[in-house]
Amino acid sequence: MQRKPPLIWLNITLFTLTFAIALLWVPWHGYHHGFDKVEWLSFILLALFSGLSITAGYHRLWSHKSYKASRGVKIIYALGGALALQNSALHWCSDHRVHHKYVDDNDKDPYSAKRGFWYSHIGWMLREYQVTKPEYLNARDLQNDPIVMWQHRHYLALVVVMNILLPLTLGWLNGDILSMLLLAGVMRLVLVHHCTFFINSLAHIWGKQPYTDKNTARDNGLLALLTYGEGYHNFHHIFEHDYRNGIHWWQYDPTKWLIQLLSWCRLTWDLRQVPQERIETARLNMQLKQVSHRLTRFPNCEELQQHLQLEYEQLKTAITAYYQAQKKLLEAKHKHLCDQQLISQVALLKRQLSNRIKHWQQFTARYS
């Protein structure tokens, strides 16, 4: 029988103590003493600050290089990351890049969802599963980032400043240090911990797979509400360098909105987006696979499969034709060339694509 790695008592103590305080002491204190508006506002603002520093900073900026940011924004992310208490950006991003490279490999993925909910949520941090000291060979670019390395070298000091001195100072200014430490300190920390941990656990277990089934990642709108927009995880795992997770305007993705807002202020730039044609093609390929599997239950399966393949080819051709023409039109506009014939062609191809999508939806709906 294989021996389990040694326990990491520091992490166990931290997670157990903070969770117990959040579960027992905070409600008791709130019931008997209450929390005022300033304490609740501090709780909300610090939760947003620390959570978005992980999702917009650690994740989309430093792990995946999905956009570029100013020095000031990076410093804020570094401070917010220390407030979130999820290790330094260098360590976090190195682990995350390994996760994407070896996703669902129980031997190489540091928080493989195939080892179960508990392991991928928090268990991987409770034992010495990383037997060798990390060298961060997959994060050489981050080792050349002075702000990442500043945070890495002074991480423990920053953790103390952001998680103890900051709420303590806010409490002193508000006239109630204990209440501020409990709500904006401990309760906020536990909430952000487990909401962001859901990205590694529930986002690989619960939801749909509209873009790929080559890994366990799922899209889940409800999880997006809890994870600062990171719940559209199936999209993320196939298009990891896109600065968005929720690609539609109606999808809840405050991390994307923050990055966009900062770009309007010229504090972020070079926001990377996957071409829409690739997104549509990935979605179409998954629909083909799913419907094709369902058709095996029908006695005239072979005939239906041929019809499905024909509809698929026609829709794929329409997608390619439309987006190629649209690309030409954008290039012409960029050169300040007005080609009425090209504009008419794009409009026609868009109508044809819309009709083909309706045909596809009608056909696949019969076998859903």
The reply to whether 202 and 286 lie within a common domain is: no
Its pTM stands at: 0.93
| Cβ atoms within 10 Å of 236's Cβ, excluding its own | 25
Q: What CA dihedral angle connects 40, 43, 48 and 49, to 10 degrees?
A: 130
The Cα 213–Cα 210 span in angstroms is 8
Contacts of 332 (CB under 8 A, 6+ apart): 338, 339, 342
The reply to whether 189 and 281 lie within a common domain is: no
The reply to whether 148 and 286 lie within a common domain is: no
The reply to whether 97 and 200 lie within a common domain is: yes
The Cα 112–Cα 122 span in angstroms is 11
The reply to whether 176 and 296 lie within a common domain is: no
Residue reference for tokens 């409990």: 182
The reply to whether 68 and 194 lie within a common domain is: yes
The reply to whether 293 and 197 lie within a common domain is: no
In a domain, 269, yes or no: no
pLDDT at 58: 98
In a domain, 32, yes or no: yes
Looking at 180, 207, 234, the residue that finishes a domain is: 207
Looking at 159, 183, 207, the residue that finishes a domain is: 207
Q: Which of 105, 108, 87 lies closest to 11 in space, CA to CA?
A: 87
Phi/psi region, residue 69 (left: phi>0; alpha: psi -120 to 50; beta: rest), is beta
Q: Give the gyration radius of the chain's Cα atoms.
A: 24
The reply to whether 63 and 201 lie within a common domain is: yes
The reply to whether 197 and 286 lie within a common domain is: no
> What is the bridge-based pairing of β-strands 268-269 and 68-69?
antiparallel
Q: 307-322: string of b/e by CB count within 10 Å (b at 16+)?
A: ebeebbeebbebbebb
Q: Which of 206, 216, 232 lies closest to 99 in space, CA to CA?
A: 216
Residue reference for tokens 């993320």: 236
In a domain, 245, yes or no: no
The reply to whether 67 and 182 lie within a common domain is: yes
> Collapsing DSSP states into helix, strand and coil, what is residue 274?
coil
The reply to whether 38 and 149 lie within a common domain is: yes
| Overall domain count for the chain | 2
DSSP states along 12-59: HHHHHHHHHIIIIIHHHHHHHT---HHHHHHHHHHHHHHHHIIIIIII
Q: Which of 364, 358, 206, 339 lies closest to 285 in space, CA to CA?
A: 364
pLDDT at 1: 58
Q: 96-133: string of b/e by CB count within 10 Å (b at 16+)?
A: bbbbeeebbeeeebbbbbeeebebbbbebbbeebeeee
Phi/psi region, residue 269 (left: phi>0; alpha: psi -120 to 50; beta: rest), is beta
pLDDT at 343: 83
The Cα 79–Cα 212 span in angstroms is 35
In a domain, 186, yes or no: yes
Range(s) of the domain holding residue 189: 9-207
From first to last of its 368 residues, the chain has per-residue pLDDT tens of 568 889 999 999 999 999 999 999 999 999 999 999 999 999 999 999 999 999 999 999 999 999 999 999 999 999 999 999 999 999 999 999 999 999 999 999 999 999 999 999 999 999 998 877 788 999 999 999 999 999 999 999 999 999 999 999 999 999 999 999 999 999 999 999 999 999 999 999 999 999 999 999 999 999 999 999 999 999 999 999 999 999 999 999 999 999 999 999 999 999 999 999 999 999 999 999 999 999 988 888 888 899 999 999 999 999 999 999 888 888 877 777 767 888 888 889 899 999 999 989 998 888 87
Contacts of 130 (CB under 8 A, 6+ apart): 110
Phi/psi region, residue 113 (left: phi>0; alpha: psi -120 to 50; beta: rest), is alpha
DSSP state of 253: -
The reply to whether 142 and 40 lie within a common domain is: yes
Contacts of 176 (CB under 8 A, 6+ apart): 36, 39
In a domain, 301, yes or no: yes
In a domain, 255, yes or no: no
In a domain, 218, yes or no: no
